[in-house]
Each structure stands twice: as C-alpha cells, then as structure tokens.
Amino acid sequence: MLDSALNVFRQGRNLARLMEGLWVTLEISAVSVLLSMLLGIVVGLLMTTRKPLWRAAARLYLELVRFVPILVLLYIFYYTLSRNWGINLEAKIVAVLVFTLWGTAEMADLVRGAATSLPAHQRESGRAIGLTESQINRYVIIPQAVRRLIPGVINLTTRMIKTTPFVFFINVPELTKVGQQIVEVAGMKNYMASFWVYAFIFFIYFAVCYPISRFSGFLEKKWEN
C-alpha cells in the first residue's frame, strides 16, 4: 500500500510538479495578501474619515466585492474582459488581481473596525498628559489598533491561502490543479493515487496555515494585556 503512495510521487516529475504548484499557490497568496494589507489600510482609513463621499465610495466597494463569489470575479476578469474588450491578462495576474480586490475589502473592514473600536477616552487621556496628536497616534492609538488587527489579519491570510484553489478554474497551475492532473494520469493504473495525492495536499495546506495561525496565538498571548 505504501508502495502505491511512493510510486505516485516517484513517477516522472510528480513531486517536483507538486512543489512547483505549491510555489504558485504561495506566490499568489503572498503577493495578494501583501497588496491587500497595504491597500486595505488606505481604504479602511478612508472609511473612517469625515468626508462622506470617500466613505460612501469605500463602503460601496466593500459591499460589492465582499458579497460576490470569488469564482464569479475570476470569470469576469479572466473570460469576460478578454472576450469583450480584448484585454488578455495572464491567468496568474488575474488571480492576484481578484484576490487583492477581495482581500483589500476584507482588510479595509478590519482596519475600520480596529480604528473605531478604540474608545475616545484613550485619545483624550493622551491629550491630558500633554502629548501631541502625532505622539498620541504613535504611542497610544496605533499600538492598540495593531493589536486588535492581528487576529483578523491572520484569519484573513489563512482564508486567502485556502481559497486560492479557486484559480484552478482559470487554469492557473497551483497546488490543487497540479494534484488533480497527477491523479488523472496516475489514477488509471493506481486506484490509491487520488487518496495519496490529496492527503499530501491536505497536509501541505495544513503545514502552511497552521504556523501562521499559531503565530497569531503567540502574539495574542504576548499582548493579552
């Protein structure tokens, strides 16, 4: 039985291909997560400004993107754009674009939440001891906002990583897609192939996401005061 497993991974470049797939998954996740963090902070802060137009625009964007399935967004950007407007984007670029659109919306909402959940007293106490506004932001507001942000950001990161298999549908050769291709070929001779390949993929996703989640727990513990 173990032979069947070893055979699947030994055949041709199967293991190397899976690793390449993992690399694509990580690439798309890492770039999208980083872009989402940066843009999300900007959009999130826009949502807390006093300018109603900015707030409305940010709100509209957030509601639109959050409630449309990722798959629909992928199809819109991959197929519809190229067919109707002749814009041909590489599948990987489309994947990063869509995930960033989605991640930015989620991140913006987290930032807005963290920024508005701090009681006004905190700023006033800072003023009362003679700090300038920028000192208040630096020593009082931002450290607390970041602490409140971390659990949500980690959660969003792992959610984005485990949602990347959707790019399967626009033929990006990421981990799950590669796994499926291997199963299709090897499964004809080896009926255990799909079990071993998907079990392997299962553990890879776990191995990537679990440390990230533990890291969040570590930070929360460190900052629980």
Partner 1 sequence: MSTAQPVLRIRDLHKKYDRLEVLHGISLDVPRGRVLVVIGPSGCGKSTLLRCINGLEAIESGDIELNGESISSGKTRWNLVRQKIGMVFQSYDLFPHMTVMGNILLGPLKAQGRDRREVTREAEQLLDRVGLLDRKDSYPRQLSGGQKQRVAIVRALCMNPEIMLFDEVTASLDPEMVREVLDVMLGLAERGMTMLIVTHEMAFARAVADKIIFMDQGVIVESAPPNVFFENPVSDRARRFLNIFQFDGVKKEEQPHVES
Instruction: Name which of 21 and 126 has its Cβ closer to partner 1.
Output: 126
Residue 133 C-alpha from the chain's centroid: 33
Q: How far is the CB of 116 from partner 1 (least distance, A)?
A: 17
Instruction: Name which of 90 and 133 has its Cβ closer to partner 1.
Output: 133
Helices 193-222 and 175-186 cross at an angle (nearest 10°) of: 160
Q: Which backbone phi and psi does 110 adopt, to 5 degrees?
A: -65, -45
Q: How far is the CB of 172 from partner 1 (least distance, A)?
A: 41
Q: How far is the CB of 41 from partner 1 (least distance, A)?
A: 19
Q: How far is the CB of 153 from partner 1 (least distance, A)?
A: 17
Instruction: Name which of 144 and 213 has its Cβ closer to partner 1.
Output: 144
CA-nearest of 194, 178, 195 to 18 is 178
Instruction: Name which of 48 and 144 has its Cβ closer to partner 1.
Output: 144
Interface with partner 1 (CB under 8 A): 119, 121-122, 124-132, 135, 139-140, 143-144, 147, 223, 225
Helices 2-10 and 175-186 cross at an angle (nearest 10°) of: 110
